[in-house]
A and B are shown apart, each in its own frame.
Chain A
Amino acid sequence: MASAQESSLSTNSRDRSSIRNFFFSNEFGLLFLILVFATIFALLTTGFTSRFNLYALGRNISIDVVIGFSMMVVIVTGGLNLSVGSIGVSAVMFGGWLIEGMGSNLPIALILLLLGGGLLGAVNGVMVVRTGVHSFIITLATMSVYFGLMIWLTQAEAFRNLPPEVATFGRTKIYGYLSPLLLISLGVAIMLAVLYRYTSLGRNMLAAGANPTAAELSGVNVKRTFILCHALSGLLAALAATMLTCRTGAAIPSMTGHIGQDWLLPAFLAPVLGGTLLSGGKVSVLGTFFGAVLVSLLTNGLLLLQVSEFWVQAVLGALLLSAVLLEKLRNVVLLQNRFI
């Protein structure tokens, strides 16, 4: 029967079309932009290709990537998590207290603070699922609650006497210009890619995010899946804040800004640039990674070009704006030429 041949062919044609599609993809576009800007900065500035700058850039990229992932894993559900910054700082302050206040050793404090972040995320998830209220308003409330609790409990005092390993790890250079933090973010990226591609849980997350009712009626436990997405988001936020602590060497209550607002822009920039659908059900781990790279690269290059750091924020906002507008335009053009 013809149809039998058709579907046995299908895996091949999937591979072929995916190679062709790569050149029309967001990821390719981002990679192209990254190369263009890297070239421009290398030519126009003196310090861009210096070992130290590449090292510092890598360190920033790795943190931005994980912040971006912490948002991406919730955007999958069609929701969002405004409290990533609050969760991140709360988790590392908790870790700092475990070490300085309780005399806990580093690995245990690390595990507990990551779990703590996951727990705060899970609390978001439970409230979203139970009340049916959009995650925007729930996480808007919890970003205030978590941050308030943290600042009240710590009395806004930083933990500066962390074990020396923390800062040493943050300063370690592999081959002179690679930060080990970059390896962590690569590891996270690979794990997430595997999660969405090669596990039943990851597929459930995508299905539940794309169409919760259809997924539920097909036997996916949507509520549990959504709670897990939020927990994962909390965990990754805690991880990102830990990496930031390694860079600064101390756990500081203001490290993510007032109620964690400073993380909002980088957290959304990376996944949105990377082509993650805000309505849920589609992610691009590679895209988010490239998105974060582009953001860090631009920040770094503009600062080297003597652009004041204040204007850099305006540029990043404009970047987000032009990214979503271009994406819209690209879809219109692709649709008209029937590429998709």
Chain B
Amino acid sequence: MSQQITLKTSGISKSFPGVQALQNVEIELHAGSIHALLGENGAGKSTLIKILTGVYQPDEGSVKLLGQAVSFSDTKEARRQGIAVVHQERHLIPRFSVGENLFLDRLGEKAWSWVDYPKLHEEAKPWLAAVGLDLDPQTPVKQLSVAKMQLVEIAQAISQKSRVLLMDEPTASLTPHETEKLFSLLQKLKEDGVTIVFVSHKLEEVLQICDYLTVLRDGQNTCTSQPIAQYDRQDLVQLMIGRKEQIPAWQTREVNRQSPKLELRQVSTEAGHQDLNLQLYLGEILGFYGLIGAGRSELAKSLIGYFRMTKGEYLLDGKAIHVSGVSVARDRYAIGYLSEDRKSEGLILQHDVLQNSGITVWRKICSKLGWLSDQQVTNRVSPSIDKLEVKTPSLAQMVGNLSGGNQQKISVAKWLAAQVEILIVDEPSVGIDIKTKAYLHELIRELADQGTSILLITSDMPEIITLADRIIVMDDFAIKGDLPNNRNYEEMSTGIMNLIHS
């Protein structure tokens, strides 16, 4: 392994109004290596990436590229200097060909230049081959799978002779097989001398392919460019969150499994599930484990009537029901769904706390003619808001101005206020701090103890082993099997992975 240093930052600080996002951050990237950048949400990873790619300029500190001090005035400049980033979402023009997407920024010298398509498509071939894509460069991008689009973006980056390739959560929407293929490509690029920065939440993957490690916590280094071989999973967690990852020593809960509260028999949905069977019992916490795109959120949305069920029986307390819409699920059957995507599906960011936490109860508490006052709503929702210890200056505060943890508490509060009997919780701890996460876990358990049936969707292994009574593994819109949870981390995680790969 060559030890030349491609890029080095020293003493990078950056603050935004009210927040010190980065303080004295150091990172040193070695040529021909894969460098893991870890940290919890809000630890400063994305700010650092944005500084390295020219989106932000640092308040203090310097960036050196191959020993030369550089400062990027914008993303264009960073790209020109050989720093490329492959984002978590795909950024391609769907109707354009693969080749044109590859060279979108180099279509011609002048605005009026002619685009030479035959030449362009010919020149695209070696770059596609370099990332292992065997396809005609004339294929429109919209015909590709997400994994192949990602490869096109990598090809785009290396075709610009990038020295540094930043990859933000590259495996988030890939299948295990696609992930393996991506990893062998990254190994190859590394051997060709490219520096890769790998940002991921999946610690197993980080340990598998990375050579060096940098960890940020609260905007500061807790680990600076160390060889990763000396660390194990628990060490990474400790560096990220400041303490060891713990499965709380909670008792295994007794659940009466005589007759299900909610049951699916041979159900197919318009979202793409076929012949699913499922039982959820009174007061049970049923965990749903799977990768992103496994069809768990879609199943949840089918249960609340957002997607249609095309076949099969849906039973509640043993009686067949038809849920025609979310309002019916909420008001007639007391089923609620807490979305994984708080910002676009869960909350109305530009509305205040009172409106957001009361949205589920307006219909219930208004008079026959539809009259409703703020006081009525306040009376109904403040017990939930208080219980969850939401930190807000007032109920009139715009939700968009609150922290992630407090936003999540409000999402939970609105369903507490609705007094649902079945609550579907989708990735509850994404983007919230450790304290709020622990608090939410206790709350979910408490709700279940009081008789609420909980369907917990999560891709966070420790979370599901902490909370669930029973774990269902889902992959590719099908249920692969279920396991009773014995709360032994090693045993359970092996069992779950076996089910996914079976």
Contacts and interface: CB of A to CB of B under 8 A. Distances in A.
Interface of A: 1, 3-4, 6-11, 13-14, 17-18, 198-201, 203-204, 206-207, 210-211, 213-221, 277, 281-282, 338
A10 B358 CA distance: 15
B393 A214 contact: no
Given A199-B370, A199-B371, A207-B359, A338 B17 contact: yes
A219 B348 contact: no
A277 B350 CA distance: 11
A281 B349 CA distance: 10
B331 A219 contact: yes
Interface residues of B, number: 48
B394 A204 contact: no
Given A214-B345, A282-B350, A219 B327 contact: yes
Contact of A206 (B330, B351, B374, B389): B351
B345 A217 contact: yes
B374 A11 contact: yes
Given A207-B355, A220-B359, A10 B395 contact: yes
B360 A6 contact: no
Interface stretch (B78-86, B269-277, B378-386, B440-448): B378-386
Contact of A210 (B327, B345, B351): B351
A7 B409 CA distance: 14
Given A3-B389, A7-B385, A220-B359, A14 B348 contact: no
Given A206-B351, A207-B348, A216 B370 contact: no
A6 B392 CA distance: 8
Interface in B330-375: 330-331, 337, 339, 344-351, 355, 358-360, 362-363, 366, 369-375
Interface string B124-137: 00000000000000
Contacts of B378: 10-11
B386 A199 contact: no
A217 B325 contact: no
Contact of B326 (A3, A14, A219, A338): A219
B414 A218 contact: yes
Interface of B: 17, 301, 304, 306, 325-327, 329-331, 337, 339, 344-351, 355, 358-360, 362-363, 366, 369-375, 378, 382, 385-386, 389-396, 414, 418
14 contacts: A3-B390, A10-B392, A199-B370, A200-B366, A203-B372, A204-B362, A207-B355, A211-B348, A215-B348, A215-B359, A216-B326, A217-B304, A217-B326, A219-B359
A221 B327 contact: yes
B339 A214 contact: yes
Given A3-B386, A199-B366, A214-B348, A10 B339 contact: no
Given A7-B386, A219-B330, A210 B350 contact: yes
Given A13-B393, A200-B363, 6 more contacts: A9-B394, A203-B358, A211-B344, A216-B306, A218-B330, A219-B331
A200 B396 contact: no
Given A200-B372, A218-B360, A219-B329, A7 B395 contact: yes
Given A17-B396, A214-B339, A198 B346 contact: no
A300 to B, nearest CB: 36
A8 B382 contact: yes
A281 B351 contact: yes
A17 B397 CA distance: 10
Contacts of B350: 210, 277, 281-282
A219 B382 contact: no
A278 to B, nearest CB: 13
B263 to A, nearest CB: 22
A299 B371 CA distance: 39
A281 B348 contact: yes
Contacts of A219: 326-327, 329-331, 359-360, 363, 418
Contacts of A199: 366, 369-372
A32 to B, nearest CB: 24
A191 B289 CA distance: 50
Contact of B382 (A7, A210, A216, A218): A7
B362 A217 contact: no
Contacts of A217: 301, 304, 306, 326, 337, 339, 345-346
A218 B395 contact: no
A306 B361 CA distance: 57
B418 to A, nearest CB: 8
Contacts of A1: 386, 389
A260 B393 CA distance: 48
Given A3-B389, A210-B350, A217-B326, A198 B395 contact: no
B396 A13 contact: yes
Nearest to A281: B350
Contacts of B346: 214, 217
Contacts of B359: 203, 207, 215, 218-220
B394 A200 contact: no
A207 B351 contact: yes
Contacts of B391: 3, 6
A24 to B, nearest CB: 15
A281 B359 CA distance: 14
A261 to B, nearest CB: 32
B386 A13 contact: no
A84 B255 CA distance: 59
A14 B369 CA distance: 27
A218 B327 CA distance: 8
Contacts of B351: 206-207, 210, 281
Nearest to A18: B396
A203 B365 CA distance: 13
Nearest to B386: A4
A225 to B, nearest CB: 10
B325 A221 contact: yes
Contacts of B382: 7-8
A201 to B, nearest CB: 5
A215 B363 CA distance: 13
A201 B370 contact: yes
Contacts of B393: 6, 10, 13
A277 B360 CA distance: 24
Nearest to A221: B327
Contacts of A4: 386
Identify which of A1, A206, A214, A216 gathers the most chain B CB atoms within 10 Å of its CB. Answer: A214
